[in-house]
Amino acid sequence: MKNTNIYGVILAGGSGSRLWPLSRAEYPKQLLKLLNQDTSLFQETFLRLAKIAPKKNIITITNAKQASDIKIQLGEMDAFENPILSEPLGKNTAPAIALSTVYIKENMTKNDDDPIIIVAPSDHLIKNCIAFADTVKKGVSLAQAGYIVTFGIVPTHLDTGFGYIETTKTNDIQAISPSAFYVNQFREKPDLETAKEYIEKGSFYWNGGIFMFKASTLLDEMSVHANDIISVLNDSEISTEATTINFDDYEKMPNISIDYAVMEKSKKIALLPLNCGWNDLGSWQAIYDVAAKDANNNSISGNVINIDSENTLIYGTSDKLVATIGLKDVVIIETEDAILACNKNQTQDVKKVFDQLKQKNHAAYRIHRTVYRPWGHYTYMGEEKDYLIKTICVTPKSSLSLQLHHHRSEHWTVLSGNAIVQVGEEKFNLSSGESIDIPIKTKHRLENIGDEDLKIIEVQKGDYLSEDDIIRFQDEYGRADLISENA
């Protein structure tokens, strides 16, 4: 039986830079259904934690821009009501974990409860979920005894890309959990020589960012070692509306990781070795390493014709054709609006491309051409200075918000399915092939009451054609007060 006092916190605020162009700032790694999986890394994390904590006890903290996508993915797992804490801006892990802990304590438990919380990143691969659950459950008694438990990944090879954790055996800790260790020190990413030393000693583990603690332990340690975070929380109201927190207060938070803020300073850290086929999928090379491969060590998916390539990762995601000939140790990632062709031994430099695009404010760092919404999705088809074209797909029984635009008119043609269109105070039924004009500054709404997808093509005309020209009046998905999101 699951311990009803255990709560899960999923950290889902990734930047989306390392698996670009498949990941984007507003559609980062954890949302991706990689390697032809039906579930995203975020969803897999949720399902993993749901083996330890009651499903309803699992909350997610994420960037405000991704909250809508997280909600869609929770919905796919019948967890539409699970709380999402939406960060107005990224402040690294310490503020996120502190806020989540306070939120659980104040909003999800009774006043004198001291919940046990497991925190996990949302974008790692764990192949052996049974081993994961078994190890994590061993952490409960340590957490109850007042330790912050970190689950240290048992190193499988020499690697300079991770932080390491140095441990010792102590009787105190082993009395509680025989396989656990006391943590001496958190160590930064080492150079090659130092990494060799660590691996040879055998008492070092990789820092996988998975922690378990009693709420009171974490908050007490934070008061001692990171009181600037606690004082912001003490001074601010946390909204009881599940998915919003006050912007101004979060901005006051320091930008600091839980490692720097607490783990490297606290004397109450225990470690349980975790041996569960962990991979941080931190680059396309890491994806290649865990992917299924053909006889020539190629991992190929999508609309691809390959001749004579070896040791490649070829990933086509659109309807376009990708032809590869005689490539060796190359990664090709193809999306609707951007293509990456990269030496497989240099995939860490993808971040440099992402940073260049971000600096230029190029759309391809931020979003895909197809953007998912609670009601369906839209695909950007092209634009010139005075028009913009999109196709829009509305799923059955869904509707966009009642909205208006100050700077553009819209012309809709139904491609398939049936539409109910409100324009001003009038409603129209449109079937396949019919079209309608939405004048500028006019309230309108698009609705699909049918049983099949509704697809329309939208031509926007006006002097300013941008997603932020929208006023929402009513919305089925609680977005009537949000800004800068489409429909």
- Distance, CA of 244 to chain centre: 17
Q: Is 457 in the site for its own copies (CB under 8 A)?
A: yes
Pick the binder of its own copies from 99, 364, 404, 430 (CB under 8 A). Answer: 364
φ, ψ of residue 24 to 5 degrees: the values are -135, 165
DSSP 418-486: -EEEEETTEEEEE-TT-EEEE-TT--EEEEE-SSS-EEEEEEEEES---TT--EEEE-TTS-TT--SS-
The pattern of x and - marking residues 342 through 361 that bind its own copies according to CB under 8 A reads: xx-xxx-xx-xx--xx----
Binding window for its own copies (CB under 8 A); candidates: 67-75, 106-114, 271-279, 455-463? 455-463
Q: Is 466 in the site for its own copies (CB under 8 A)?
A: no
Give the SS3 label for residue 385: coil
Between residues 108 and 415, which has the closer beta carbon with respect to its own copies? 415
- How far is it, in rounded angstroms, from Cα 277 to Cα 129? 9
CA-nearest of 279, 9, 272, 277 to 136 is: 272
Between residues 98 and 338, which has the closer beta carbon with respect to its own copies? 338
Pick the binder of its own copies from 15, 174, 413, 466 (CB under 8 A). Answer: 413
The pattern of x and - marking residues 284 through 323 that bind its own copies according to CB under 8 A reads: ---------------------x-xx----------xxxxx
Give the SS3 label for residue 58: strand
Pick the binder of its own copies from 64, 97, 195, 327 (CB under 8 A). Answer: 327
Rounded to a whole number of angstroms, the minimum distance from the CB of residue 411 to its own copies is 5
Rounded to a whole number of angstroms, the minimum distance from the CB of residue 406 to its own copies is 17
- How far is it, in rounded angstroms, from Cα 416 to Cα 418? 7
Alpha helices in 35-163 (DSSP H): 41-49, 67-76, 93-103, 129-144
Binding window for its own copies (CB under 8 A); candidates: 31-39, 125-133, 161-169, 336-344? 336-344
Between residues 87 and 410, which has the closer beta carbon with respect to its own copies? 410
Binding window for its own copies (CB under 8 A); candidates: 169-177, 186-194, 259-267, 339-347? 339-347
Q: Is 341 in the site for its own copies (CB under 8 A)?
A: yes
Calculate the alpha carbon distances from 248 to 237, 238, 435 in Å: 11, 12, 44
Q: Is 330 in the site for its own copies (CB under 8 A)?
A: yes
- How far is it, in rounded angstroms, from Cα 108 to Cα 439? 46
Give the type of residue at 481.
D
- How far is it, in rounded angstroms, from Cα 53 to Cα 427? 47
The pattern of x and - marking residues 3 through 32 that bind its own copies according to CB under 8 A reads: ------------------x-----------
Q: Is 338 in the site for its own copies (CB under 8 A)?
A: yes
Contacts of residue 93, Cβ cutoff 8 Å, sequence gap at least 6: 11, 209, 257, 258, 259
**Contact footprint for its own copies (CB under 8 A):** 21, 305, 307-308, 319-328, 330, 332, 334, 336-343, 345-347, 349-350, 352-353, 356-357, 362, 364, 381-382, 384, 386-387, 389, 391, 409, 411, 413, 415-416, 432-433, 435, 437, 455, 457, 459, 461
